Structure 1
Amino acid sequence: MNSHLTPWATSQEATRPRLRGRRRCDVAVVGAGLTGLSTALELLTLNPESRVVVLEADRVAAGASGRGTGLLGPRIGPPLQVARRRFGDDVARAAHLWSVAAVRHVLDLVERHQLACDLTPGGQLVVARDERAAEHQYQERQAALMLGLPPEYVEFVERDQLPPYAGRSLSGLRYGPAATLDPAALTEQLARAGERLGLVVHENSQVRRIRRGLLNTVVTDGGELVADHVVLAVNAYGGALAAAPSGVLPVRVQAGVTHKLSEEQLAELAGLDAEPLIEHGEVAPYFRLTPDGRLVVGGGALERGAHGCFAPHPGRLLAAARAFSPALADISLDAAWAGPIAVTRDGLPVLGEHRGDPWLHHATGCNGHGLALSVYHGSVLARRIAGADTGPSDLPWLRASAPWLPRGRVTDRVLDRYLEHLATAAAPSGSAQAAAEAGGPAPRTEIPS
C-alpha cells in the first residue's frame, strides 16, 4: 500500500501561518489553488512592489488543484460543431485558440520558473468506440477545418493509425499541444515561486465574508485583510460566499490509481505517458500513466455539490481499467478519490469582475478542462488588475456570471437522475460491480470535506 490516496504527494498539514489581526495589501486572493496562485505570481512578476496575500481555507493544493489527474490539454466549452451553431464561427475559433494559448502559457510558465512538476509534453487522444462516436469525431474535424484551425490542433486519426493501446477504437481525434504533469506539485511550486517574489500565503484561513466598500475587507475567523482588489479563486467552493458569481454548479468527479504495473503491462501501454487516452462521451473514462508506472483512470461517475458524502465508485473505475487493455485483466486499484469541479449551463467559464464591484474579480466554471485554463485565467486576471491586458474584451466567457441555473428540490432531483444516467451510459459493458468484486481487496477511498 502506498502512503497517499492520490498519486500526488501533498502535505497533509498546513505549514504556513493563519491570518491574524488586521492587515492591508494591494490584492487579496481567496484560494491557494492553481487560479489563485497563478494570479499572485503574475501580479508579482508584473509589479514586484505589489503587496499580494493569498488566503486558503485549508492548505495549498488541498482542493481540486491538488486532486486532478494531471491532463494538460486544449479545449474549452462545447464541441466545435456545437460552438459554431451556438456562438458563431468567430467565437468558436477564438475559444479553441484561447485554450491552446492556455496550454502554451503553462508550458512556458513551467520552463520560465523551473517548476518541478513531472511535466511530459505530448498530445491527447480522444477515441471513438462506436459508429456514432466516430461520426461525431469526423464532424468535429470538419468543424475544425471550417474554422481554419491549424491541422496539428485537431487531427483526425484513422483506425489503422491508432496506437495499440487504443484497442478496438474506430477512430480518434488527437489534440495538441498537450502534456501530463503532477497537478499538486505544480500548485505547490507556484506558491513557492510566488513566495520567492514576496507573496504571503496564509493557510487555515477560511474566508467567511467579504465586506464591500471603498476598500474591500476579507474577513476570516482570525483576522481581516483590507485590499484594493480581491480575487475569488475558489471555483466549486464559491457557494458559501455571496460575492461569488452565480450560475455555477459544483459537481464532484472521481478517479483512481493502480499499483505499479509490471514491465510487460507497461510495454503494452507504451506511449500512454505522453499521450493519454480519453474515450468519447460526457463522463467516459480516461487513462494516463504516472512517471512511476501506475495507471490513473478517471470518469465514470459524478454527483452534484462541492461537499457531501460522495464516495468514489471504484467498481466502475476498475471495470473501465480492465476493459481498457487485455494486459490489465488482473490489476487492482490502490486508491480512489473524488473532488469537485465547477460547471455552467452553456459550458463556458466565468472570468471577469463582479457586476456591482469592478475591484472584485473571479475565475471559475472550467467544466472539466481546468488544468490549463485555471492557470491561464489567473494570469489574465492579474494583467487586468495591473492594467496590462490588451486582449479582447467581448468574448462570451469574459463575464460577471454564468447563465441562470434553475434550483430547488424537484430540479435537483431531476439533475441527480440525469448525472446518474450519464454515469451509467459511460460504464463499460457488463457489471462494474462484478468486476470490482473479482479484483481482490477494495481500494482506499477519500471523500473531500
Structure 2
Amino acid sequence: MTASHVRDALASAKPLPFWLDDPDRPAARPPLAGDQSCDLAVVGGGYSGLWTALRAKERDPGRDVVLVEADRIGGAASGRNGGFCEASLTHGEANGRTRWPDEAARLEELGLANLDDIEVTLRRYGIDCDFRRTGQLAVATRPHEVEELRAEAEGESAVFLDRAAVRAEVDSPTYLAGLWSKDSCATVDPARLVWGLAAAAERLGVRIVEGTPVERIRRAGGQIAVHTNHGTIHAQQVALGTNAYRPLLRRLRLATVPVYDYVLMTEPLTDEQLASIGWSNRQGLSDCGNQFHYYRLTADNRILWGGYDAVYHYGRRVRASYDQRQETFDVLARQFFETFPQLAGVRFSHRWGGAIDTCTRFCAFFGTAFGGRVAYALGFTGLGVGATRFGADVMLDLLAGEDTERTRLALVRKRPLPFPPEPIAWIGIQLTRWSLARADARAGHRNVWLRLLDRLGLGFDS
C-alpha cells in the first residue's frame, strides 16, 4: 500500500466521531439555571456519571439526583469509543490475576454478572444501541503470540483457533492463531448507549444539565457545594465521573494521565467485500501486540479500526486540537490494508481521536473524600463501556457507608501508585512506549526498563 493510496483512502474522511455524526443525536439540554439543591450531585455526563445517576434512582427512587455535564452528554470518550462492552473489571484476566491473585476468579465472575446486568438493563428500558454479545476474538500476528493464546484457552468459553480455524472466522493473511472468548464481550453503538442511559435516567426523575462546567467543589456546612459557571449545586453527596479531565480533588492530580487514542471508520462494505473477509459471527477483534489494534463491524457493515498509537502530551494536557493527528491516521490506514489486502480500494468515512484516562494499574480505582460525602471512580483505561456500571455501584456503596462484597474487594480498597510529576512522567511514558514497541519487534522480549516496571507492580502486557 503506497502513501498515495493511503492518502486517497483518507481523503474524504470527516474529522469527527462516526457515532456522533447522527441525525438522531438528542438536542442539547439547557445549562444549570441558578443555585439548586439535591441529595446526590453527579459530575460527568459519560457512562460513569449516567450509570451512577441511574443506579442511584433504581436503588432509592426517592433520592433527588442532579447530573451536571460540562459539554454534551456523551460528547467525550463515551460517545467516541470503539463500542466494546467487555466483562473484564481488571483490563484482562492476566492483569487481574497478577495484581489480585486471591480475588481473580471472583472478579471474573463479578465482571460477567455486570455484563449480564447491562444486557438486562438495556431490555428493561428499551435502549436500542445495537447490543450484540458476539464475544471477542484475539488474534496472534507474531509467532510468539500463538502459544500465549493457546495457554489462555479455557474450554468452551475461550476456544483456541489454529491458523486455518481463525482465518475461517475472519480472513487475514496476517493471522497465525486466535482465541475466541465467546461470552465476555458485546459490541454496542456507544453514542446510542449513552443517549439511552440519559433518557432512562430522566424517566426515573434525574435532572440533567449540560453546558455547565464544574469549577470546584468544597465543603459548605453539612453539604458539598458544587460550583459551576451557572450557579452552585448544594448536595448532600457527590459522585465524580470526570475520568480523563482534570480531577476536582487535589489528591487525584497525579493519579491518572490522559492518553490519546485514534480511530478510523470505513465506508459500508459491499456484500462482496464483506464476503472476502468472512466475519459472519461479527466478533469484536483485537490483535495481541503491546501496541494493539481493536476493530469491529457496525450495524451497516462498516469496519471500525482503532488503537495502536497511544499518545501522551507533556503536562497531562487535554486539548480539542489533539483529536486529529494525521501521522497516526496514516499509520492506521496502512496497517488496515496490510491486515485486509482484499479490501484495497475501500475508503474511510470518518477519522477521530480523543483522550482516555489511565492509571498505573490499568483499571479503575475508587475512593472517597470530604468525610465520605464525595466518591470517585477513575482510571478505566479504555474499558469503561462495561466497567463503569460496576464502578457506579461501588461509588454508591461507598457513599452509603455500606459494607458490601464490592467494598471489601482489594480492587476497591487499594489505590494505585501515582504517576510522578513532570518531566519525569513524560520521560517515563515515552520510554515505556518505546520499550513496548521494541518488545513487539523482538518476539515479546521485555527489556530492562519493562522488567523493572514489572517488579514494581507497574508493568502491563496487553
Alpha-carbon distance in 1 for matches of 2:192, 2:91: 29
Is residue 2:146 matched to residue 1:140?
no
Q: Is the 8 A contact 1:245 1:400 kept in 2?
A: no
The one-letter code matched in structure 1 to 2:292 is A
User: Where does residue 156 of structure 1 map in the other structure?
Assistant: 160
Greater strand content: 1
Q: 1:426 to 1:117 in 2, by over 3 A?
A: farther
Alpha-carbon distance in 1 for matches of 2:121, 2:424: 45
Deviation at 1:353, TM superposition (A): 2.1
Deviation at 1:385, TM superposition (A): 4.0
User: Where does residue 17 of structure 2 map in the other structure?
Assistant: 6
User: Where does residue 31 of structure 1 map in the other structure?
Assistant: 44
Deviation at 1:395, TM superposition (A): 2.0
The one-letter code matched in structure 2 to 1:368 is G
Alpha-carbon distance in 1 for matches of 2:69, 2:209: 6
Q: 1:79 to 1:3 in 2, by over 3 A?
A: closer
Q: Is the 8 A contact 1:134 1:171 kept in 2?
A: yes
1:60-107 residue CA offsets vs partner (Å, 9 max, x unmatched): 00110001010112334365445434432x222233223222322221
Q: 1:376 to 1:167 in 2, by over 3 A?
A: farther
Query: Which of 103, 115, 121 matches 1:109?
Result: 121
Share of identical aligned residues, percent?
29
Q: Is the 8 A contact 2:406 2:412 kept in 1?
A: no
Deviation at 1:321, TM superposition (A): 1.5
Q: 1:373 to 1:290 in 2, by over 3 A?
A: same
Q: 1:37 to 1:418 in 2, by over 3 A?
A: same
Q: Which runs of 5+ in 2 are unaligned?
A: 1-11, 442-462
User: Where does residue 391 of structure 2 map in the other structure?
Assistant: 377
Deviation at 1:405, TM superposition (A): 1.5
The one-letter code matched in structure 1 to 2:146 is A
Residue correspondence of structure 1 range 5-404 to structure 2 within 5 A: 5-9=16-20, 15-77=28-90, 79-81=92-94, 83-88=96-101, 90-141=102-153, 151-162=155-166, 163-175=169-181, 176-213=183-220, 214-239=222-247, 241-242=249-250, 244=252, 246-271=254-279, 274-304=282-312, 305=316, 307-308=318-319, 309-310=321-322, 311-312=324-325, 313-354=328-369, 357-385=371-399, 390-399=404-413, 401-404=415-418
Alpha-carbon distance in 1 for matches of 2:208, 2:422: 37
Classify the secondary structure of the residue corresponding to 2:377: strand
Alpha-carbon distance in 2 for matches of 1:82, 1:13: 38
Classify the secondary structure of the residue corresponding to 1:301: coil
Alpha-carbon distance in 1 for matches of 2:249, 2:78: 19
Q: Is the 8 A contact 1:43 1:383 kept in 2?
A: no
Q: 1:16 to 1:117 in 2, by over 3 A?
A: same
Q: 1:197 to 1:3 in 2, by over 3 A?
A: farther
Q: 1:85 to 1:294 in 2, by over 3 A?
A: closer
Q: What TM-score do you get using the length of structure 1 for normalisation?
A: 0.85
Alpha-carbon distance in 1 for matches of 2:27, 2:252: 25
Deviation at 1:245, TM superposition (A): 6.9
Alpha-carbon distance in 2 for matches of 1:19, 1:91: 42
Q: Is the 8 A contact 1:106 1:376 kept in 2?
A: no
Deviation at 1:386, TM superposition (A): 5.3
Length, aligned pairs only: 417
Q: Is the 8 A contact 1:258 1:296 kept in 2?
A: yes
Deviation at 1:2, TM superposition (A): 7.9
Alpha-carbon distance in 1 for matches of 2:284, 2:116: 18
The one-letter code matched in structure 2 to 1:334 is S
Alpha-carbon distance in 2 for matches of 1:78, 1:122: 19
User: For structure 1, which segment, 236-245 or 120-129, has the greater mean C-alpha deviation from structure 2 after superposition?
Assistant: 236-245
Alpha-carbon distance in 2 for matches of 1:388, 1:240: 24
Q: 1:400 to 1:218 in 2, by over 3 A?
A: farther
Deviation at 1:372, TM superposition (A): 0.6
Deviation at 1:420, TM superposition (A): 5.5
Deviation at 1:40, TM superposition (A): 0.6
Deviation at 1:261, TM superposition (A): 1.4
User: Where does residue 440 of structure 1 map in the other structure?
Assistant: none
Alpha-carbon distance in 1 for matches of 2:237, 2:170: 51
Alpha-carbon distance in 1 for matches of 2:228, 2:91: 37
Deviation at 1:423, TM superposition (A): 6.2
User: Where does residue 444 of structure 1 map in the other structure?
Assistant: none
Q: 1:8 to 1:123 in 2, by over 3 A?
A: same
Classify the secondary structure of the residue corresponding to 2:291: coil
The one-letter code matched in structure 2 to 1:28 is A
Q: Is the 8 A contact 1:300 1:423 kept in 2?
A: no
Q: Is the 8 A contact 1:380 1:389 kept in 2?
A: no
Q: What TM-score do you get using the length of structure 2 for normalisation?
A: 0.83
Q: Is the 8 A contact 1:285 1:320 kept in 2?
A: no
User: For structure 1, which segment, 285-294 or 31-40, has the greater mean C-alpha deviation from structure 2 after superposition?
Assistant: 285-294
Q: 1:421 to 1:184 in 2, by over 3 A?
A: farther
Alpha-carbon distance in 1 for matches of 2:292, 2:82: 14
User: For structure 1, which segment, 21-30 or 164-173, has the greater mean C-alpha deviation from structure 2 after superposition?
Assistant: 164-173
Q: Which runs of 5+ in 1 are unaligned?
A: 146-150, 428-449
Q: 1:245 to 1:130 in 2, by over 3 A?
A: same
Alpha-carbon distance in 2 for matches of 1:245, 1:101: 32
